[in-house]
Amino acid sequence: MRRILAVAACLLLEVGTAHARVERIWLSHKSTDPSRVVVNWETSEPGNSIVHYGTTPATEQTCTVEESVTLHHVEIPLPLQAAAHYYRVQTGPHRSPVASFKGYPQDELRVGVIADLQGRPALPGLIKDNVRIVMTAGDNIANLWQGCNGRKDWTGPYSRLIDAYPELFRTTIFMPVLGNHDKEIRPRGAKPPPEAVYDVNATAFRTFFELPDEEWKWHLDVPGFDVRFIALDLNHISDMGTTWQACHPFAVGSEQFEWYDRLTQPSGHRFIVTLYNEQNASMRNQEGRRWHGMFCRGTLCITGFGYFAERAVFEGHPYFNTSVSGKGDRYPDPHSQFLAGEDTYILLTFHRQPCELLVEIKALDGTLLDRTRHPGRSRGE
């Protein structure tokens, strides 16, 4: 009898542990500087949130959040920016294997930008480039309505996104930007329906990811390279005021306009990279071209609006388009200087000496398609 009870107890323990298993892990920033990182994971049953971390695989330090959740977000400090960092997560008795990610380097910073991830293609070139951060230019999922049953907070498609690239997101900071597909809670249809098609507040996106600011818009500063990244919520702007409206207002006086205006004022940032999901030529003409004027305070803009690769230059300012689903129709910018109907990503390489940014459009296998260099601006310019 004792043997039966012991076996039953072991089975119950195994079942309990299995139910709390860690199903996926990813990394992000919710601070506006890289001195802290958020370790995110999901479990199949609710439990507490513990991260063991350190600069050796022993992960000597611990951060605990006593709550009972299935979606876990724990922020930890990065005291040694250039060092390798090790961590493992724990919920209840279950612990993940130790994983690692690299801190921010001293001389060269590589950032990858991808967009239109609906098809989940392999990304061998991006992985080989060993970037410190992966950012997106919108449309991280196909939609929310296939499976959400009307729930704005359903995060299933984002879980599947992490599952598609488990090693990449476990070892690299991930900073996504909103596109219209990320908010599509109902089928779009041929004409505006009675109910809103998009959840403009991006409830599911903001629930799943831990990002700076309001999350539907965010910025990140990397002081060692004098760079500021700014993510805007701009997509399907021609549908404003209808049930097809997909993004937050952007007119003069709106929260988004005023926020971007403040962030792009002359400062100590030698580089400003702006990311969004609207057609470049359309966006820069908005509000009497005041958006273009603000864009020009920065270094360049990147969108994932179209399924193609492009570099355009208008009045001296570079506008890029990239897509990992890049074999669809092309809508060339009137000022296009490079255009290709290929799956691509953009590699941004920041150098401290000399102070410059190298921008490369690459095929998914890493083949170079286009390259430009952009010197850093003087501080306060």
Q: Give domain 22-102's CATH architecture.
A: Sandwich (2.60)
Peptide bond into 354 cis (omega under 30): yes
As given in the structure block, the two tokens for residue 11 are 């089975």
Q: Pick from 380, 379, 340: which is nearest to 362 by CA?
A: 340
**Residue 40 · residue 69 · CB < 8 Å:** no
Task: Enumerate the CATH 3.60.21.10 domain ranges in the chain, comma separated.
Answer: 108-375
pLDDT at 7 > cutoff 50: no
Q: Rounded to the nearest 5°, which phi and psi values hold at 292?
A: -60, -40
The domain made up of 108-375 has a fold known as: Purple Acid Phosphatase; chain A, domain 2 (3.60.21)
**Residue 246 to residues 137, 185, 213, Cα–Cα distance (Å):** 15, 11, 20
pTM: 0.93
As given in the structure block, the two tokens for residue 45 are 């049953």
User: What is the CB neighbour count within 10 angstroms for residue 70?
Assistant: 14
For residue range 121-146, what is the model confidence (pLDDT) as tens digits? 999 999 999 999 999 999 999 999 99
For residue range 319-337, what is the model confidence (pLDDT) as tens digits? 999 999 998 889 999 999 9
Q: Longest Cα pair distance anywhere in the chain, in angstroms?
A: 84
For residue range 280-311, what is the model confidence (pLDDT) as tens digits? 999 999 999 999 999 999 999 999 999 999 99
**Residue 202 · residue 178 · CB < 8 Å:** yes
Contacts of 8 (CB under 8 A, 6+ apart): none
Q: Rounded to the nearest 5°, which phi and psi values hold at 265?
A: -65, 150
Task: Enumerate the CATH 2.60.40.10 domain ranges in the chain, comma separated.
Answer: 22-102
pLDDT at 89 > cutoff 90: yes
CA distance 218 to 230: 6
pLDDT at 251 > cutoff 90: yes
Average pLDDT score over the chain: 93
**Residue 168 · residue 333 · CB < 8 Å:** no
